[in-house]
Amino acid sequence: MKIETLSVHAGRKPDAATGAVTPPIHLSTTFEREANGEYPKGYNYSRSSNPNRESLEICLAQLEGGQSAAAFSSGSAAAMTIFQALSPGDHIIASDDLYHGTRNLIKFFEKWNIASSFVDMTNINNVEKALRKNTRLVWIETPTNPLLKIIDINKISILLKKRNIKIVCDNTWATPILQQPLELGADIALHATTKYIGGHSDVLGGAIISKKDDQFFQKIREIQKSGGAVPSPFECWLVLRGIQTLPLRIRAQSESAIQVAKFLDSHRKVEKVYYPGLPSHPGHNIASAQMKLFGAMISFQVKGTKKDAMRVASKVKIFVRATSLGGPESLIEHRASVEGPDTKTPQNLLRMSIGLEHPDDLIEDLSKALK
Ligand SMILES: *Cc1c(COP(=O)(O)O)cnc(C)c1O
């Protein structure tokens, strides 16, 4: 089945008890045992599993082409679970441009004796040079946040073949509609379902999808169940609902983003545009090969200083000045101030999430703000 069809149907079926087409939300935290002590429906306590989370996990596994998925209460909880599944003495290689929360988490695990190297993965030699005997995890994020670097997932998987190293790809910005990391050689796809997958700026969530239901995934499952950083049944329901329109939303948003990026690229007050859909982007060819469209995130540097960038952000009327991404409303933010004092992000850089408004209106809004 095609991914549009899976998005509508995977993990769902009409409710056996009532015929309801939309799944009921099962709020019960506990489930009844049979007289013989068994749990014939497979559920016993909602932290371990519940019908809404199970539906969501089945759906996510099918969308990413994995054997199993585990849903979490946020993208960060999902990322933390992967680091917790490592052992003291292990080493992680991650991209130098990376969601700042993931970078902070990796650093956080230093005190559990998990070492890390942050390298520019657009050059595969840097990954090879960073390899150590104890490297167990390579963390890819592509496109990267906030500089939209493109990392060649397949090339890295070929480099690491036959080594005991898990390749994780944070696929939040591309979604399985635009990019399929497991097919390109990654072992695990990770999502902040908070973003495009939920898609309406109204639910936090995370997910880990594993190509194989192997020992490493079993560890993840164990941490999910015993650690309990799980989404509530209602949150699972919201994310599953969001998925039904994901293919349409991400396509429309990506198509608008190309137009906005082109507009900015030709504007005299813009110093630089970071968008992989522009032929001038250094990762354009790789993105064309590994992504179906180029996504709906754009960063750009305003000519001048932080003050000039802030002034542009202060003048927009349709874009909402807020962090996050992937919702129906377009967002704009001064990224360096979100990332804090250690940031390497240029001070005149603004990051945008292109929403579902008409691109002409977005371009007019930016045009007025740049005047
Ligand atoms: C937002 C985000 C995360 C973290 O997700 P939360 O749900 O906010 O914890 C991780 N990776 C990327 C790429 C993100 O954009």
User: Left (φ > 0), alpha (ψ -120 to 50) or beta: where does 12 sit?
Assistant: beta
- Could you tell me if 265 and 233 lie in one domain? no
CB-based contacts of 325, cutoff 8 Å, min separation 6: 173, 195, 196, 296, 297, 331, 353
Mean pLDDT calculated for residue range 353-364: 98
Q: What CATH number is associated with residue 325?
A: 3.90.1150.10
Mean pLDDT calculated for residue range 51-58: 98
- Could you tell me if 38 and 168 lie in one domain? yes
- Could you tell me if 236 and 251 lie in one domain? no
Q: What is the pLDDT of residues 23-39, one digit of tens each?
A: 999 999 999 999 999 99
Catalytic residue selected from 47, 262, 292, 315? 47
Local structure of residue 177 (DSSP, 8 states): H
Average pLDDT, the chain: 97
Q: What CATH number is associated with residue 147?
A: 3.40.640.10
Count of domains forming the chain: 2
Q: How far is CA 215 from CA 75, 127, 218, 222, in A?
A: 22, 25, 5, 10
Which residue range(s) make up the domain with 222? 3-243
Q: What is the pLDDT of residues 132-179, one digit of tens each?
A: 999 999 999 999 999 999 999 999 999 999 999 999 999 999 999 999
Among 243, 261, 277, where does a domain finish? Answer: 243
205 CA closest ligand 1 atom index: 7
> In the predicted model, is pLDDT for residue 342 greater than 90?
no
Distance CA 23, CA 31 (A): 18
Q: What is the pLDDT of residues 249-265, one digit of tens each?
A: 999 999 999 999 999 99
Mean pLDDT calculated for residue range 67-93: 98
Q: Is the CB of 206 under 6 A from ligand 1?
A: yes
Q: Is the CB of 74 under 6 A from ligand 1?
A: yes
- Could you tell me if 60 and 113 lie in one domain? yes
| H or E segment to which residue 101 belongs | helix 100-108
To test the pocket of ligand 1, the residue of 99, 104, 168 to mutate (highest count of ligand atoms within 8 Å of its CB) is 99
Mean pLDDT calculated for residue range 100-119: 97
Give the closest residue to 187 by CA, choosing from 67, 38, 54, 313.
Answer: 67
SS3 231: coil
Mean pLDDT calculated for residue range 190-214: 98
Active-site residue 99, yes or no? yes
- Could you tell me if 186 and 265 lie in one domain? no
- Could you tell me if 171 and 69 lie in one domain? yes
Distance CA 178, CA 191 (A): 13
Mean pLDDT calculated for residue range 200-214: 98
pLDDT score of 138: 98
Mean pLDDT calculated for residue range 344-359: 97
What's the CA-to-centroid distance between 75 and ligand 1, angstroms?
A: 5
* Residue 339's pLDDT band (cuts 50, 70, 90): confident
- Could you tell me if 110 and 217 lie in one domain? yes
- Could you tell me if 264 and 236 lie in one domain? no
Strand arrangement, sheet containing 206-210: 68-72, 206-210, 188-192, 166-170, 135-141, 91-95, 115-119
Active-site residue 45, yes or no? no
* Residue 224's pLDDT band (cuts 50, 70, 90): very high
Mean pLDDT calculated for residue range 261-275: 98
Q: Is the CB of 122 under 6 A from ligand 1?
A: no
- Could you tell me if 185 and 221 lie in one domain? yes
Mean pLDDT calculated for residue range 98-109: 96
pLDDT score of 38: 95
Q: Which two tokens stand for residue 44?
A: 């016993």
> In the predicted model, is pLDDT for residue 74 greater than 90?
yes
